[in-house]
Amino acid sequence: MVHVPTGHRTAAIVGPYGSGKTTLFEALLAAAGSPRKRGADRGGTEVHIASCTFMDEPWTLLDCPGSVEFAHAAESALAVADLAIVVCDPAPARAPTLAPLLHALQSAGTPFLVFVNRMDQLANPVRETVAALQGMTSRPLVLRQVPIREGEHVVGYVDVVSERAYRYRKGEPSDLISLPAEMLDREKEARAGLVEVLADHDDGLLEKLVEDIAPSSDEIFERLRLDQSEGAVASCLLGAAEPGWGLRRLWKALRHDTPAASETARRHDVAEQGPPLGQVFRSVNTGQGGKLSWTRVWRGPLKDGAMFGAARVGGLWKPGNGDPVKVAEAATGEIVALGRLDGVPTGAVLGDPGGAFLDFPAPPEPVYSLAIETADRKDDVRLSAALRKLTEEDPSLGIEQNAETGETVLSGQGEIHLRSAVERLGAAFGVAVKTHAPQVPFREAIRKPVHQHARLKRQTGGHGQFADVTLDIAPLPRGEGFRFVDKIVGGVVPRNFIPAVGEAAEEAARKGVFGYPVVDLEVTLVDGGFHSVDSSDMAFRTATRMAIQEALPKADPVLLEPISHVTVSIPSDHLAAAQRVLTGRRGQILGYGERESWPGWDDVEALVPQTELQDLIIELRSATMGLATYRHRFDHLAETHARK
């Protein structure tokens, strides 16, 4: 008898954009007798949560965003799931789109199985699809079904463990049929390949393999369940979500192979006994309903009113097929929404974790930014609170108040990501904003020294104003900043006025000929004059500013632009395309090499002007099947002839 785990379990449905994830999510709910009732839908930008029961066992399904721009939301859901269903297109050429996802699953040790979707459109041997996927992960992929074809069309499958054949029926469970004679050799080949992989972890199976003894279906099922739940292998199942092919078989595989909540807790080193323990993986601000913190209960029971530090749970809800359902408590393994946990961020562990390993994915570095301002100035105060709530919901968004430009800059993972954030500011928080590209922090420098004299002499009745300064203004090596030098001798400028000259020179350099701060500048006070009555700090400040303003245009000023060190990560097949994008944006390629622990991926290092980074990610992703990402940091300032 094959063991079946019990208790509440959670499966996350993940896959690239356009792979049919949400269709499968809804089809699985319908197959379990719980068709999804659509509520507010933000178009694939968030995790959708629904509960159902299959064969009297409770489940939570998490439909995760597929776009790379919302990958952090998907990874956050995976952090609390027992198993992931990886949905993929049957075309081998699309396999690289799963590389980031498979890498995340591999790194986290999360069990997963692969559902090859759209078998009604299969145009190649399914073995080619599995082989292409295998190149993206070191976890062995085992094909558990072989498609049955009639002519060019797939009409059913053979289960290689039970050695039974089935014919698909649209919207209905598959029919059991006799195993076609022409499928015998292919089925035996697939079964032998499956057993060979499983034998790597089972001495008994290995012994039978060596002695050419066929293991029973129950033996294979049990070994497969153990390896699958431990993340040692990943099953590949076939089907088509749209016509409803293979859904019950997928449900049965989930039922047998998804680890129990207690097994997942042990994988995270959560002790079985102890006070309630949970982890927030999604936060939603619901307007009048307040904030909801969707939480996996690692150790229950968790009750309404529970205290976690200074935060008290103000309501507890379980996911339904539409609106959440209010309950009094939740058991170990359940997914629930906790009310009014203000100040508790996404990813927070609720309770004492002890030695538990409850890591949460760090937000990726931003690759796209917009400066935002309220459409109505009366909303300026509300904007700060709205942005705080927005970044609380989505930690992959970043906010910066740029003191130099006075801009509020919103950063994230791409154009669609920020467009969604801006729309949510208006729809959920009632703050309409306008956006534009952030200002680039240009600088100025001079290329030749100037000797400059300035005199202030004003008489307005009573005390006048008098100050006389002679300055040597010279360029410094790049990166030296500002330097003031005092070379006054003989008291021609009294000592008490000299600090005012230095301060005024530095202030005057904050706005150069082109309107930007001047850097790498040395100002030397070499001579001057004063009046015993009319000289003052203010007078010397004014004279110094006059001298600087007159000198800078004569000093061969030049505009400097910031240059960033950029590391672009792309599939190796797209290396040439990425290099063309970078050089087309005035980038200087420094080199490239294999991306560490990412088979089939490369990192390209380049120096790129910051002005070229604004929409770089859009062009890179367009050239790389939507897969590219990059990291950047300021490197240096360089002369530019472009006036901005």
* Domains of the chain, earliest start first: 9-259 (3.40.50.300), 273-350 (2.40.30.10), 368-434 (3.30.70.870), 448-555 (3.30.230.10), 560-640 (3.30.70.240)
The closest of 469, 472, 471 to 493, measured between CA atoms, is 469
pLDDT, one tens digit per residue, over 588-630 is 999 999 998 888 899 999 999 999 999 999 999 999 999 999 9
Spell out the residues 6+ positions from residue 36 whose beta carbon is closer than 8 angstroms to its own: 25, 26, 29, 30, 50, 321
Is residue 228 within 8 Å of 198, Cβ to Cβ? no
* Residue 643 scores a pLDDT above 50: no
Q: Which amino acid is at 241?
A: A
User: Pairing between strand 141-143 and 311-312?
Assistant: unpaired
Q: What does pLDDT average to over the chain?
A: 93
Task: Round to whole Å and give the CA distance between 425 and 372.
Answer: 11
User: Pairing between strand 349-350 and 325-326?
Assistant: unpaired
pLDDT band at 492 (very low <50, low <70, confident <90, very high): very high
* Residue 499 scores a pLDDT above 60: yes
* Residue 86 scores a pLDDT above 70: yes
Percent of the chain with pLDDT over 70: 98
Average pLDDT estimate for 132-143: 93
Q: Is 576 exposed, middle or buried, given 0-12, 13-18 or 19+ CB atoms closer than 10 A?
A: exposed
The closest of 362, 396, 391, 392 to 108, measured between CA atoms, is 362
Task: Round to whole Å and give the CA distance between 450 and 137.
Answer: 63
For 55-176, where are the alpha helices, taking DSSP H only?
71-78, 99-108, 126-134
pLDDT for res 309: 85
The closest of 584, 501, 490, 587 to 537, measured between CA atoms, is 501
Is residue 64 within 8 Å of 49, Cβ to Cβ? no
pLDDT, one tens digit per residue, over 347-387 is 999 999 988 999 999 999 999 999 999 999 889 889 999 99
State the DSSP H helix or E strand holding residue 318, giving kind and residue range, or none if neither: strand 316-318
Q: Which amino acid is at 159?
A: D
Rounded to 5°, angle at Cα 136 from 132 and 138: 115
The closest of 21, 80, 74, 28 to 52, measured between CA atoms, is 28
Q: Is 80 exposed, middle or buried, given 0-12, 13-18 or 19+ CB atoms closer than 10 A?
A: buried
pLDDT for res 41: 57
Percent of the chain with pLDDT over 90: 81
Question: ω into residue 301 within 30 of 0, thus cis?
Answer: yes
* Residue 535 scores a pLDDT above 90: yes
* Residue 642 scores a pLDDT above 60: no
* Residue 222 scores a pLDDT above 50: yes
Is residue 316 within 8 Å of 293, Cβ to Cβ? no
Structure-token pair, residue 91: 């075309």
pLDDT band at 206 (very low <50, low <70, confident <90, very high): confident
pLDDT band at 2 (very low <50, low <70, confident <90, very high): low
Structure-token pair, residue 636: 């240096």
Average pLDDT estimate for 182-207: 90
Average pLDDT estimate for 529-546: 95
Q: Which amino acid is at 94?
A: R
Instruction: Say which range, 87-91, 134-138, 164-168, 288-292, has the weakest mean pLDDT.
Output: 288-292
Structure-token pair, residue 111: 């069990």
pLDDT for res 43: 62
Task: Round to whole Å and give the CA distance between 205 and 552.
Answer: 83
Average pLDDT estimate for 157-181: 94
Beta strands (DSSP E) in 144-276 are: 145-150, 153-159, 164-169, 172-177, 234-238
Other beta carbons less than 10 A from residue 75's beta carbon: 26
pLDDT for res 203: 84
pLDDT, one tens digit per residue, over 539-568 is 999 999 999 999 999 999 999 999 999 999
Task: Round to whole Å and give the CA distance between 578 and 570.
Answer: 8
State the DSSP H helix or E strand holding residue 261, giving kind and residue range, or none if neither: helix 261-267
Task: Round to whole Å and give the CA distance between 572 and 38.
Answer: 40
The closest of 2, 528, 452 to 220, measured between CA atoms, is 2
- Region at 151 (left for phi over 0; alpha for psi -120 to 50; beta for the rest): left
pLDDT for res 213: 84
Q: How many CA atoms lie within 13 A of 18 on its CB side?
A: 10
pLDDT for res 44: 76
